[in-house]
Chain A
Amino acid sequence: MPEYKVQFEVFEGPLDLLLYLIKKEEVDIYAVNLTKLATQFIEYIDLMRQFDLEVAGEFLVMASTLMYIKSRELLPVDQQVVVEAEDEGEDPRWELIRQLVEYKKFKDAAAQLQTLEARQENIYPRRPGKIEFENTDAPAKLEAGIFDLLNAVNSVLKRFSEKTAGTREIYEDKWSVSEKIEFVLQTLSERGSVKFSELFATAANRSEVICTFLALLELIRLKQLACVQPEPFAEIEISRATLAVPAGEPESAVAESATAIVEPAAPASEAAPQAEPEKPQ
């Protein structure tokens, strides 16, 4: 029983194994001894069997091709001619060598891709921060005044009076201003800004329109909303007031300064008990 010292490499297929065997022989692919290669290839497959490795079908196909080539070699040239004429004219040796050369080149190309892959991992693109300008476009927009708002709500109401002209409905008050405040705030948090008419798009009747409008006025009074007209006579756009941010900043600044005051105080109080025991010493 011969002692095998085999380092098992994972071969990607029979061609990979053949290339490995050729490399071991240290010869050019064109100059390789195919019959010798066939012997080694089959030895290797036997070895795989011994180690209970599953031999893929492709390996067996290659083994049979190699055996075919080897068997042909045993026949003198003039006796081969008949077989070759029946074949597709391609010498199986050349076909195999061509395949090996081709595969070798792609294997090398794959190695180069692998280098590129590793290199790319270490390349970082410049990611500039988004440049934000301090509301440079705000002055261009006109802040809508109370009369602009009234005009706008009037035109919404007018549409309702046209729609319901000649009919009267009796209905209960289903809407409250506080509900509508929530609705407006929720719409804005979902969409950022909203056109005036869009707020009333779902309104069913006059009283709902009025409820929504009152909610709007209330939020404006609380400085929660900003109403702007992109240009004169354009539709009013409603968004969350940007004023709320500067209003929040002093708060956090106060909180920070408060903690800043507390923090120096803490080491001081810690230092004090330490200092005290020292005194008796």
Chain B
Amino acid sequence: MELKFILESLLFSAQKPMSVKELRDVLASAATAEDADEAAKPFKKTKDDDVTAALEELAREHETAARSYRLACVAGAWQFVTQPEFSPWLKALVGVKTRPSRLSQAALETLAIIAYRQPVTRAEVEQVRGVNVDGTMQTILERGLVEQSGRAEVVGRPALYSTTPLFLEYFGLRGLEDLPAADELRRIPVEHPPAPVTADAGLATVPPEQLQLDETAKAKSEESAVPDPAETQT
């Protein structure tokens, strides 16, 4: 019997999403039962990696078969789920899912920063967003999407925040490594642009002796008197 098909049958009948460890435990208990079937015995000491590999292969097979459902891994647990495009009919069948209201833009931004940078202090989040995040932090803490995970070893020992397994479940993510563009966002390299374009080119770089006094005054008055950017450029 192939391992992946055994796992498929287990996930098909399981009451809840199953983690690799839970699946392995089922394999072990089937093999060590008093009246264990001969076919079950070889799987007594199946390794986690083998289970994961078999599940991934199974998931790929389901993906290529392009069925209305697929094998998904959310927060480390595997289960069969339907494809999103079939929701109109599923809504009619089982009713609209009871999900809390959608998150606000502010909450999503705050969550994104915590997710990629965790563990992170509130001050660091505010640094990135440029605004106070007390309210949004309160919301996402209350919804159990983030939690306090420790204290930073800096002055004042501020609280550190991390995302919870519920966060992964809410967004249907397998794990934190599954976050979109994870590598890039975890530590954004500080890129020094070769030459930031700022003022009208040449204005700041002209040596003072070459600047005519009246011209400088004229440039300044233009800047302040005519705020319209289009006119400033001309």
Contacts and interface: CB of A to CB of B under 8 A. Distances in A.
A110 B105 contact: yes
Contact of B130 (A15, A79, A121): A15
Interface residues on B, range: 35 or more
A128 B12 CA distance: 8
Contacts of B105: 10, 12, 110
Interface string B110-151: 011101100000000000111110000000000000000000
Contacts of B81: 123-126
A71 B132 CA distance: 27
B220 A74 contact: yes
A74 B130 contact: no
Interface residues of A, number: 64
B69 interface: yes
B213 interface: no
B206 A76 contact: yes
A163 interface: no
Interface string B191-216: 11100111110011111100100000
A175 B173 CA distance: 61
B116 to A, nearest CB: 7
A73 B173 contact: no
Nearest to A18: B130
A13 B130 contact: yes
Contact of B131 (A30, A58, A77, A91): A58
Contacts of A122: 84-85, 87, 90
B84 to A, nearest CB: 4
Given A15-B130, A77-B205, A93-B198, A117 B109 contact: no
A79 B108 contact: no
B84 A123 contact: yes
A114 B130 contact: no
B193 A109 contact: no
Interface in A98-114: 98-99, 101-103, 105-107, 109-114
21 contacts: A12-B129, A15-B129, A35-B198, A36-B229, A36-B233, A40-B229, A58-B130, A76-B206, A91-B196, A93-B196, A94-B192, A94-B196, A98-B191, A106-B129, A110-B105, A110-B112, A113-B111, A119-B84, A124-B82, A124-B87, A125-B81
